[in-house]
Amino acid sequence: MNAMDNEAEIRKRKIYRVTFIGFVVNLALSCFKLAAGVLGRSAA
């Protein structure tokens, strides 16, 4: 594996990590929003 392959692999891992973190944050916010709606007795 040469240096360019290694850099590409590191870049790919960072992209996957950021994507996964974004997914987890969005999931947490969605759960919070749902809970707030249920607890606030929203009719929406």
Q: Of 43 and 30, which is predicted with more confidence?
A: 30
Q: Report d(CA 25, CA 17) in Å as an integer.
A: 12
Quote the pTM value.
Answer: 0.75
Q: Tokens 């590191």 identify what position?
A: 10
Local confidence band at 2 (pLDDT 50, 70, 90 cut-offs):
confident
Residue 16, phi then psi, degrees to nearest 5: -60, -40
**Confidence at residue 1, expressed as pLDDT on a 0 to 100 scale:** 63
Q: Write the pLDDT tens digit of every residue in 3-40.
A: 889 999 999 999 999 999 999 999 999 999 999 999 99
Residue 40, phi then psi, degrees to nearest 5: -85, 5
Ramachandran region of residue 41, left (φ > 0), alpha (ψ -120 to 50) or beta? left
